[in-house]
């Protein structure tokens, strides 16, 4: 054992205050700063988590309260009369099984098409030069900046009176507007996906593609065999973002889907349907919905919408975190 190792062991055996005196008070200052930063970080994280979780916990509490508990001022969080009636009413009003099935297949279809087309376009922006490239990328930025509500009237008129070889077709109420917009990268948040994928591909070394070209691969073969497998992290992130945004979307759903019932539209019209439900159950014509009951049913319906997304996150958490980490390292 060397003398340096013996000195280190002897120093570790000494008390904190002895080591602090030996360091001229520096050890105490560093220790205080270390614990102060840790306490501040813990308080900050606790506050942020509370701000995020408190509304959800409040909705969970309201969802299990009987109607008389909603007007009891002595009840804050824990209900006195536990009831699942709010869940039954909310699921019946929004026709949960049908709405859930429609939302799943619409979100999957839209997300797959959007990610496929945005990956193709993002790779083109990152690797190829073509006429008016900067102008078209400026248009991509406009897709991110300009809210879709500003072009809602134009979209409605375009698909309501769609021109096809001299014929005027009404595409409203079908999936065709959705599919056409996804294939042309004009869907929900497509500009953001193109930008993210482009930035990711810019981090790829050009030598990798040159080696593929030397081996006889063309641009498309290189894209499919080399670039897409290497871009799985960003593709995964964009797919999850697209799926979640489409799951909770009500703007495009109300604009195009018509009779196709999805969760976003069902929750948006819940208050009116609740009034109809109460009038039928009570056998009277006009029924005013109590605000407390309306808030409880709306909160329960929101939980019904969010629960599948929470389950999806629990299963995809590891893959999603790894994709974001790899994306940050690549970029």
- The predicted-structure confidence for 247-296, as pLDDT tens digits, reads as follows 888 888 888 887 788 888 888 778 778 877 777 776 666 667 777 888 88
Q: Which of 48-57, 114-123, 190-199, 316-325 has the lowest mean pLDDT?
A: 316-325
Whether residue 95 contacts residue 269, with contact meaning beta carbons closer than 8 Å, is answered with: no
Q: How many angstroms separate the CA atoms of 40 and 266, rounded?
A: 43
State the distance between the two ends of the chain, measured CA to CA, in whole angstroms.
47
pLDDT of 27 above 80: no
Measured CA to CA, the distance from residue 52 to residue 135 in angstroms comes to 40
130-144 mean pLDDT? 88
pLDDT recorded at residue 330: 45
How confident is the model at residue 76, as a pLDDT? 76
Q: How much is the pLDDT for 3?
A: 55
Mean pLDDT of 103-121: 91
Comparing 207 with 104, which gets the higher pLDDT?
104
pLDDT of residue 39: 92
Given this model, what pLDDT does residue 116 score? 92
HSE, CB side, 13 Å, CA atoms: give it for residue 122: 28
Tens digit of each residue's pLDDT (9 = 90 or more) over 194-252: 998 888 888 888 887 888 888 788 888 888 888 888 888 888 888 888 898 888 888 88
pLDDT of 75 reads: 78
CA dihedral 169, 175, 180, 186 (to 10 degrees): 120
The answer to whether 312 touches 75, Cβ cutoff 8 Å, is no
Looking at residue 274, what is its pLDDT? 80
Question: How far is the C-alpha of 173 from the C-alpha of 185, rounded, in Å?
Answer: 20
- Whole-number percent of the chain with pLDDT over 90: 8
CA angle 271, 93, 51 (to 5 degrees): 60
CA distances from 141 to 26, 136, 221, 331 (A): 51, 9, 28, 19
Q: Distance between CA atoms of 179 and 277, rounded to whole angstroms?
A: 35
**Alpha-helix residue ranges (DSSP H) falling in the chain:** 3-13, 16-22, 26-63, 67-70, 85-93, 96-127, 133-145, 152-160, 176-183, 190-202, 206-214, 219-222, 228-230, 232-247, 251-252, 263-268, 270-282, 291-330
* Residue 62's pLDDT band (cuts 50, 70, 90): confident
Dihedral sign (CA 128, 132, 134, 136) = negative
User: DSSP labels for 134-182?
Assistant: HHHHHHHHHHHHS-GGGGHHHHHHHHHTEEETTEEE--TTSSHHHHHHH
Per-residue model confidence (pLDDT) at position 117 = 92
Residue 11 has pLDDT above 70, yes or no: no
What pLDDT is stored for residue 115 in this prediction?
92
Task: Spell out the residues 6+ positions from residue 61 whose beta carbon is closer than 8 angstroms to its own.
Answer: 77, 78, 79
pLDDT value for 283: 67
Range from 3-12, 102-111, 160-169 carrying the lowest mean pLDDT = 3-12
Tell me the C-alpha distance between 240 and 327, whole Å.
14
What pLDDT does 224 receive? 84
pLDDT score of 328: 46
Q: What are phi and psi of 168, to 5 degrees?
A: -105, 115
């Amino acid at each position: 054992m060397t003398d340096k190792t013996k000195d280190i062991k002897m120093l570790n055996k000494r008390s904190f205050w002895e080591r602090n005196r030996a360091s001229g008070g520096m050890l105490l200052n560093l220790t205080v700063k270390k614990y102060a930063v840790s306490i501040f970080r813990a308080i900050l994280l606790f506050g942020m988590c509370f701000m995020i979780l408190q509304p959800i916990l409040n909705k969970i509490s309201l969802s299990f309260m009987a109607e008389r508990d909603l007007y009891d001022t002595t009840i804050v969080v824990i209900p006195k009369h536990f009831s699942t009636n709010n869940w039954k009413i909310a699921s019946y009003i929004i026709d949960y099984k049908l709405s859930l099935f429609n939302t799943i297949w619409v979100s999957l279809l839209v997300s797959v098409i959007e990610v496929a087309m945005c990956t193709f376009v993002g790779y083109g922006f990152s690797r190829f030069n073509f006429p008016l490239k900067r102008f078209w990328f400026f248009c991509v930025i406009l897709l991110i900046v300009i809210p879709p509500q500003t072009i809602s009237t134009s979209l409605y008129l375009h698909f309501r009176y769609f021109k096809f070889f001299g014929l005027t077709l009404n595409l409203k109420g079908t999936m065709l507007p959705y599919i056409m917009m996804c294939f042309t990268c004009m869907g929900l948040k497509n500009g953001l996906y193109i930008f993210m994928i482009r930035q990711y591909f810019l981090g790829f070394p050009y030598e990798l593609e040159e080696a593929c070209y030397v081996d006889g691969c063309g641009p498309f073969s290189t894209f499919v065999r080399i670039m897409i497998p290497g871009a799985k992290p960003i593709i995964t992130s964009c797919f999850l973002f697209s799926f979640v945004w489409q799951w909770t979307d009500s703007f495009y759903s109300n604009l195009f889907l018509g009779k196709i019932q999805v969760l976003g539209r069902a929750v948006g019209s819940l208050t009116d349907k609740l009034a109809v439900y109460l009038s039928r159950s009570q056998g009277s014509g006009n029924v005013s919905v109590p605000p407390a009951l309306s808030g409880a049913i709306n909160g329960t319906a929101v939980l019904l919408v969010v629960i599948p997304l929470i389950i999806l996150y629990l299963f995809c958490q590891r893959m999603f975190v790894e994709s974001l980490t790899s994306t940050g390292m690549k970029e």
